[in-house]
Structure 1
Amino acid sequence: MKKKFWTTFFISLVCFSILFAGLGMYLSNKETAISTGEEDEVEKSLDNEDEILVLIMGIDDNDGLGGVKAVKEKKIKGEDRHKPTGMRTDTMILGKYNFKTGEVTLLSIPRDTLVYIRGRKNLERINHAHSYGGPYLSIKTVRDLLNIDLKYYVTVDYLAVKEIVDAIGGVKIDVPVKMRHSDPYIHLDPGLQTLNGEESLMYLRFRSYPDGDLGRIKAQQIFVKEFMKQLLKPKNLLLLPKLAKTYYDYVDTNVPFEIVMKGVMSARKINLDNIKLTTLPGKPEYIGTTSYFIYDEVETKILIEEMFGDYLLN
């Protein structure tokens, strides 16, 4: 029974979070509340909620410790969480999961999207919001951008990916182009290959695609699906309890524990081949010498009404 719980619980977390962000989100411990958030703005009465809308943010810290882990060791909570580190988000995905149907909807938001950030004089890249005000300013920025009712977040450090990929024996990826970069160091040749943890970070960090950040988003989406296939192999399910510390060290969220348990009960409904996944409408554009992603307001409004209509603000 205990083994079945661990398997079901962790698969639900994978489907609920790694599936969303490709990275992960929780400490896998049934006796400890997974959310470390104690924020008043998050409602705790959730019995009537059939789905969740959450902002998933990946951060990339090169100092070897991990941004999420550093903040946890300092016991920083509330709206100051992550703020002292000044880290920008490297990946941002808006995810919706329906507990009844198992339907998953994902919207990738390019990190270079030019937006208004509260408290700033000029328009800036959306990934700057996290460095100015942590996850809550990121939530507010996405709320303002898309006009949606958003209150939950998951922040995952890329170092979690490295540890988990090594633990499960690597991830098979068809690298599309020659990947070279000096800082951070990236050296991958094109072709089908099994990437270890460090190589997976190289693959996820690489940005020099012909279509810029959009190419990187496509590559990350491919990684998510291949990572899931490898993680859910029977032999790797036996490793799940051992990975709990990795999640605790490198993942932070304000999603209440009872919502996670709803994910546990509905995990079997999720079909990995039936995921609605798209990217914010728009195109890359240079302003001076700086590259930005300029979102299309009309197409974005139509897309949000279609994908997240129940969450639109008046």
Structure 2
Amino acid sequence: MKLPRSIFYFILLLILALIIFIFIKVTNYYMNAPTITSKEIKNEDILTFLIVGIDDSSSIQRTDSIFVVMYSPKTGKIFLYNIPRDLRVRFQYQGQLIYDKINHVYFKRDIFALRGLIETLLGIKINNYCIVTYEAVSKIVDLVGGIQVYVDKEMKYTDNAQNLRINISKGLQTLDGEKALEYIRYRSDEEGDIGRIKRQINFILKILEQKDKLLKMKKIPKTIRIIYSKVKTDLTLLDFQYLSTQISNISTDKFYYDVLPTKPLKIDNISYLVPLNVYGESYAQFLIKKIKSFLLEEKIDYDKTITVEILNASPQKGLAKIIRDKLIQYGINVIYYGNSNYSSKVTRIIDRIGNIEKAQQIAAILRTKNIETSLNPSLAVDVTIIVGEDYNISVLDY
């Protein structure tokens, strides 16, 4: 007796589902890693991931990009924290403690040493890691049919040693995988690494905008193939299944980003960056606590925050709003922002209540140093920010 076609397809679907279920369970077991949906992780308020990008075409695989991604399933907010690759760190290498740039840790040690350093630096626990190759980035871009970006300047650069050739024209461009790599690697302009970080963030946003294409049923097998062949990770298939569901609900208006606050340092003619400290304590860890609070709160309790006003005394239009958008990511209560009645050549952070520490915290976020005290409780703010002509907006716009 011949089975009806509908029943045949139903049985086939059940068999296929069973095979996939067994494959996922076996894979997760042998990878010996708890899934994000497991009991020990499921109750965590914030999931934290280490994402590093490496150049797989080079024999020396330095981490070209280092990001800590913090995600709150409760609020749907996601925060991308860039760790500058020139950050000076200390770690064990060949039986002794050495100082070197953080982008050398993966090459000289491994991903676990890098993760441990960043956990100590930020005072956090990182759940999982992903090591993304340039080839993976290129293939993902091609999978979504390219990304459209506005290139604000002509990009031309050649480095035969790295087998790197960049040639992108100014204007609105649709970049395929190869051109997208050129876009995110370019740093041969006056902005240097800051400009590159800005482009990398913009690239991530463009991919996020096209997440639906990656998560379409017919493209899921290709996406998984890319992930498991071109990405090294301790995430399991169940983790990716869970994350794909979460990513489908993430909107770009809940996507925030910043870079680790640092200051320059030169030793033996080598340029480094070192973390900022306030009163001898790590400012990076202080900001992480603020970020965690911001990620978890549906609404900010402004009674517990620093209250500021922002006055734009520079000729740059819209600067007060840009600074305001950055400050609210740290839970800062901006009660007013707008243009000043007078111009100022210098940016000033003014303590209005006799609590200089609050002014120092604002100055560290904005990467500026001019702090002063001028008491005026009648303004009903803790700090006044006077944005002067000297303020470089590029320190925020990445």
Alpha-carbon distance, 1:240 to partner: 3.3
Residue 175 of structure 1: aligned partner? 151
Counterpart of 1:116 in 2: which secondary structure? strand
Tell me whether 151-160 or 262-271 shows the greater mean CA deviation. Answer: 262-271
Give how far 1:143 is off. 1.8
Partner SS for 1:182: strand
Separation of aligned partners in 2, 1:232 and 1:124 = 41
1:218 corresponds, among 195, 198, 205, to: 198
1:130 to 106, 111, 115: 106
Q: Aligned partners of 1:115 and 1:35: how far apart in 2?
A: 35
**Using the alignment, how far apart are the partners of 2:51 and 2:286 within structure 1?**
22
Deviations 1:160-198 (A, max 9, x none): 111122232211111233222222111122221111111
Mean Cα deviation higher: 279-288 or 173-182: 279-288
> Does the 8 Å CA contact 1:113/1:295 hold for their aligned counterparts?
yes
Instruction: Report the 3-state secondary structure (helix = DSSP H, G, I; strand = E; otherwise coil) of the residue aligned with 2:210.
Output: helix
Change (3 A) 1:266 1:254: same
Could you say which structure has the greater relative contact order, defined with CA pairs below 8 angstroms and 6 or more residues apart?
Answer: 1
1:197 and 2:174 correspond: no
RMSD (Å) for aligned C-alpha atoms: 3.1
Q: Relative to structure 1, is the Cα distance of residues 269 and 171 closer, same or farther in structure 2, using a 3 angstrom cutoff?
A: closer
Contact 1:162 1:201 survives alignment (8 Å): yes
Question: How many angstroms does 1:116 deviate by?
Answer: 1.7
Q: Which residue of 2 aligns with 1:55?
A: 50
- Max Rg structure: 2
- Distance (whole Å) between structure 2 residues aligned to residue 225 and residue 235 of structure 1: 16
Amino acid at match of 1:277: Y
In the alignment, the residues of structure 2 paired with residue 264 and residue 106 of structure 1 have an alpha-carbon distance, to the nearest angstrom, of 18
Q: Deviations over 1:79-129 (max 9, x none)?
A: xxxxxx752111111111122221211111111111222345432111111
Matched, 1:304 2:288: yes
Q: Secondary structure at the match of 2:92?
A: coil
Quick one: structure 1 residues 37 and 116, their matched pair in 2 at CA, closer, same or farther if it must change by over 3 Å?
Answer: farther
Distance of 2:154 and 2:289 partners within structure 1: 39
The DSSP-based 3-state class of the residue aligned with 2:149 is: strand
3-state DSSP class of the match of 1:124? strand
2:32 maps to 38
State the secondary structure of the residue aligned to 1:123.
strand
Distance 1:125 1:295, change over 3 A: same
Q: Secondary structure at the match of 1:185?
A: strand
Counterpart for residue 101 of structure 1: 75
State how far apart, in whole Å, the 2-side matches of 1:111 and 1:294 are.
11
C-alpha distance in 1 between matches for 2:211 and 2:103? 29
Question: 3-state DSSP class of the match of 1:153?
Answer: strand
CA distance in 2, matches of 1:159, 1:35: 28
Instruction: Supply the AA of the counterpart residue of 2:40.
Output: S
1: CA distance between counterparts of 2:215 and 2:123? Answer: 44
2:130 corresponds to which of 132, 144, 154 = 154
- Residue 117 of structure 1 aligns to a residue in which SS? strand
Q: Partner residue of 2:5?
A: none
The structure 2 residue matched to 1:229, chosen from 209, 213, 225, is 209
1:291–1:270: structure 2 CA closer, same or farther, 3 Å change rule?
A: same
The secondary structure found in structure 2 opposite 1:203 is helix
The 1-side partners of 2:207 and 2:276 are apart by: 31
| One-letter amino acid of the counterpart of residue 132, structure 2 | V
Q: Distance in 2 between matches of 1:283 and 1:244?
A: 40
Whole-angstrom distance in 2 between the partners of 1:231 and 1:263? 12
Structure 1 unaligned segments of length 5 or more: list them: 1-28, 64-84
Deviations 1:131-160 (A, max 9, x none): 122110110111222232234211111101
- 2:246 and 2:140 map into 1 onto residues whose CA distance is 24
Secondary structure, aligned partner of 1:122: strand
Could you say if the C-alpha distance between residues 291 and 257 of structure 1 is closer, same or farther in structure 2, counting changes exceeding 3 Å? same
Query: Counterpart of 2:330?
Result: none
Q: Give me the whole-angstrom Cα distance separating, in 2, the residues matched to 1:34 and 1:188.
A: 42
2:142 to 166, 171, 175: 166
3-state DSSP class of the match of 1:159?
helix
Pairing 1:281–2:261 present = yes
Matched, 1:118 2:92: yes
CA distance in 2, matches of 1:247, 1:256: 11
Aligned to 2:359: none
> Aligned-pair distance for 1:237?
6.5
How many residues align? The count is 260
Question: Which residue among 86, 91, 98 is the counterpart of 2:65?
Answer: 91
Amino acid at match of 1:171: I
- Measure the CA separation in 2 of the matches of 1:223 and 1:238: 24
Distance 1:216 1:263, change over 3 A: same
Which residue is 2:6 aligned to?
none
